[in-house]
Amino acid sequence: MTCLMGLDISTTGAKALIIDDSGAVIASANTPQPISQPKPLWSEQNPADWWDGISASIRKALADSGLCGRDIDAIGLTGQMHGLVLLDSYGEVLRPAILWNDQRTQAQCDAMTEAIGADRLLELTGNPAVTGFTAPKLLWVRDNEPDIYAKIDQILLPKDYIRYMLSTDYATDLAGASGTSLLNVAERAWSDEVLAALKIPREWLPPVHEGTDFTATVSGEAADLTGLKNGTPIVGGGGDQAAGAIGMGCVSPDKIGVTVGTSGVVFAPLRSYAYEPEGRLHAFCHAVPDTWHFMGVMLSAAGSLQWYKDCFAPDLDFDRLLAEADGVPAGSDGLFFLPYLTGERTPHPDPLARGAFIGITSRHSRGHMTRAVLEGVAFGLKDSFTLIDQAGLPEQIEVRISGGGAKSPVWQGIIADVLAAPLVNVNTTEGGAFGAAILASVAAGVFDDAASACEAMIQTGDTVAVGKDAAAYAERYEIYRSLYPTLKDTFSTL
């Protein structure tokens, strides 16, 4: 039996997963991670916490599985994208990592756009300058912490810091590097033009690799600490969304992934590079070699429902809350919810966007408000789905759904009706760590490629059909689309 390990450094946890070559989960362990918000708009973590957490998770997963380090054939990595980890010439961390959801860098985004040109930046990197991306964070350090900037010797993404601690080697994957604003996404290489315009030394950046490439091996010191075997291969892996898509089997353009986690993601693989002309979709390299993907991201999907429950029904479990919503007709009797609780990314890259209930009357109940939240998130997903459709989808597609929010049959039914597309469930629930382990299985030679690995390891489950409310939702979606433009100036004023 071949055993693969997937390691995932998310914002909230450090996870170690062990699977066999059939895709069966042997063990899974997660160590919660602290997060710091020392100032408004700031979001940071200490990389030492990631390493402590992943080391503990590896040890626990090995212990729970009854396996030894020598039983692990290869390791795949994934984790939160865009985070900035700065190391000095001794390999020591210079400051807390600045995370993907940090919003302090709008001035640096404006400076990037001016230095490179909006159209040229979009053409090269597939994306406009976004506050969450890595390059603006680096410019912020240069502008605000010059003493730290002067000591920089290496820039890493969060999961690549784990690779470094496991092996002492610097490397990154193309999917993760796509979210830095420093990669020529079409050419799958660091962009000399962007680096020159921003005056960032290329030697600060690690080598880039495809997701299935071997990049390093576990060192003796890391083996002693984690229980892994000295010399165990470590593959390139992928950013969390690309690895999560592989964990759902979305490795070709005929399979679209919809993830309803804290954020909401619509993920569409591409066989060749393309970018959305107005930059409303992210265009990244996929973790599958020589492929790309479009991605739409809404910042508060299941996070909207969690916020709503915490505020208005803290003593009610989710099943009871959603049962009330199920008794309300589609459209919530004219009540709408805008899910912009933490700003928005797609299709409105606006950190000042705000959430709202619109159309409340005295006849609306808690069930109406709950259903409006579910519908508002579904409409937000449709925004991304519509943009991807306009960019060109194959005639025959399969939409696969995952994430904590996707466990609700009520919510799945609403999403299927709003998207006007059947939703296919899959048997995997381990997210990006599972996709990282799949990439490791390809590198280890268990499968020829990611497609054959996914076919062997991932099974599809129930399909949620499009229901009778699809036509009504199509009408209400047009009203939903009109609400952000109407309120945009108000949000800015607030």
Residue positions annotated with a catalytic role? 240
The residue written with tokens 């900035």 in the block is: 84
Max Cα distance, the chain (Å): 67
Residue 303 makes CB contacts below 8 A (sequence gap 6+) with: 262, 263, 341, 342
Beta strand residue intervals within 345-442, DSSP E: 356-358, 398-402, 423-426
- Find the helix or strand (DSSP H, E) in which 310 lies: helix 302-312
Report the C-alpha gap between 87 and 65 in whole angstroms: 35
Q: Cβ distance 296 to 383 under 8 Å?
A: yes
> Distances from the Cα of 313 to the Cαs of 282, 320, 326, 362, 367, in angstroms?
35, 10, 16, 19, 11
Q: Is 277 helix (H, G, I), strand (E, B) or coil?
A: coil
Token reading at 329: 């007709």
Residue among 54, 182, 200, 66 nearest 127 (CA): 182
DSSP alpha helix (H) spans, 150-291:
158-167, 174-177, 192-198, 220-226, 240-247
| Helices and strands, counts by H and E, the chain | 17, 24
* CA 400, 402, 408, 414 torsion-angle sign: negative
Token reading at 432: 């990006």
Pairing of strands 398-402, 255-260: parallel
